[in-house]
Structure 1
């Protein structure tokens, strides 16, 4: 097998592909395929100044072997070679390594074969032998520029895909958190409804006060105890029920006796908020043996 792996050294005369390469990035790799060793040597001498990493092969099959073991950016292949024509080699290269940019260089004007390969997308450009040095270098530089753009697009698409995946994961996490919070709110609402229902139908008279002493709740037993139970809501407890609170006040935790319709009741005030975010007080009225 006649293959060479050559790292060319920087030259003073650079074309765009070499001069535009960012410091620290790996050199662009060029594969030259021709069965004539003098042609390969001439091409390497011409392109040495352009800082390409140059690989060579003496046939289409050797070219495929090189592609299987080395990442290659641009391929320049002869058309007339023994065993496999350049167009057939470039077709296989496109099939196996579609990311490569492929150029045909030939002294034979087999237009139909070349046209077919171009139409199939196997060939980026077709150049004839003998070549014009500056033109050949410019065409190869253009091929490397296109390959660089394609590589950047792949890299940006990969980064975009990673960002989209991260956003999707964050969105899923946020939706799960919102669902959990909604579920907790629903459970709290159910618990609150059950608690209100229990208080509502509790046989013990219960009055709920907000943190300013206003009557915010009165259960069925308490409403039955006072003729105007419904009218008490939204009023200041010390004003509408002075016989319960005017003398003793509404201090949280206070307990005292009061008379309701001549019957003695123990008035107990329980502050809320010790184990929840509720504010205000609950007042229970328990009938007892004697009024104060």
Structure 2
């Protein structure tokens, strides 16, 4: 069973007879309650406005405002407070309707049995504290749910934003690829491991003899002609940023102007770009 945190137990005693108030205080002196007293319903309401009272004991027979009238007002203003009325057997009819409508938690007769009175008050406080704890847990749960809902909304928005960003990047990549494919010169990209990692249609047309063949993934030393490989070696040995290889004959029918650029100084990627401008024979 969940242990309910112990809080200060405040009880309000309302009776116009001082001797009854004192007798109740003597009965409860060993129970460690904070005891407030009032001699009328009006005084009781004033104390309730200043203190968080858990249990009220009110005498039924009081001038100006009876115990039931007082507790009916308490129910409206402080519905969680547990309300006990003290009354004689002869006044039972006057409190029956209040009991039925829930304005009164317990009806105890005078003279009271001390042990029975203390047990009823103890049970009333346990009931009150359980209600308060349930309220606290409900509010805590609601707060947690609100936080989770806000986190979910933020996460969903981040997913939407990230998806939009990815789609934008994909669109830019597609446009860049289309531009690369439609350039009037051949472009070949070679990475640090001498692998061809980029090429456009113009470059494929220059070096791929078989239909639907592709340069991507091939080792440059195995896929490119010897004349172009020799230019690459000269560029590498010259510690180049950009190397103009001049006009190179790729074969008997095709010559091209070769420009070799190094990547890495102004980009995150490292490697080599070869630009090939075929010449018309």
Verify same fold: TM over 0.5. yes
The secondary structure found in structure 1 opposite 2:274 is: strand
CA distance in 1 between counterparts of 2:170 and 2:227 reads: 32
Contact kept in structure 2, 1:74 and 1:144, CA below 8 Å: yes
Number of residues of Structure 1 aligned to a counterpart in Structure 2: 268
User: Of 69, 83, 88, which aligns to 2:69?
Assistant: 88
Equivalent residue number for residue 257 of structure 2: 266
The secondary structure found in structure 1 opposite 2:72 is: helix
Equivalent residue number for residue 153 of structure 1: 134
CA distance in 1 between counterparts of 2:158 and 2:264 reads: 26
1:68 Cα deviation from its structure 2 partner: 1.9
Q: CA offsets per residue over residues 225-256 of structure 1, 9 Å max, x none? A: 44637413343332222235443447585743
Contact kept in structure 2, 1:238 and 1:244, CA below 8 Å: no
CA distance in 2 between counterparts of 1:189 and 1:32 reads: 76
1:37 Cα deviation from its structure 2 partner: 1.9
5+ residue gaps, structure 1? 1-19
RMSD over aligned Cα atoms: 3.0
User: Of 198, 202, 213, which aligns to 1:231?
Assistant: 213
Which sits farther off after the overlay, 79-88 or 111-120? 111-120
Equivalent residue number for residue 106 of structure 1: 87
Contact kept in structure 1, 2:215 and 2:223, CA below 8 Å: no
Change (3 A) 1:246 1:32: same
User: Of 47, 51, 58, which aligns to 2:32?
Assistant: 51
Which sits farther off after the overlay, 38-47 or 253-262? 253-262
TM-score by length of structure 1 reads: 0.78
TM-score by length of structure 2 reads: 0.81
Equivalent residue number for residue 98 of structure 2: 117
CA distance in 2 between counterparts of 1:284 and 1:145 reads: 86
Contact kept in structure 1, 2:228 and 2:250, CA below 8 Å: no
Contact kept in structure 2, 1:28 and 1:144, CA below 8 Å: yes
Change (3 A) 1:288 1:219: same
CA distance in 2 between counterparts of 1:275 and 1:121 reads: 81
Which sits farther off after the overlay, 236-245 or 187-196? 236-245
5+ residue gaps, structure 2? none
CA distance in 2 between counterparts of 1:237 and 1:113 reads: 106
Change (3 A) 1:161 1:30: same
Change (3 A) 1:37 1:210: same
The secondary structure found in structure 2 opposite 1:247 is: helix
The secondary structure found in structure 1 opposite 2:230 is: coil
Change (3 A) 1:111 1:185: same
Equivalent residue number for residue 108 of structure 2: 127
Change (3 A) 1:128 1:148: same
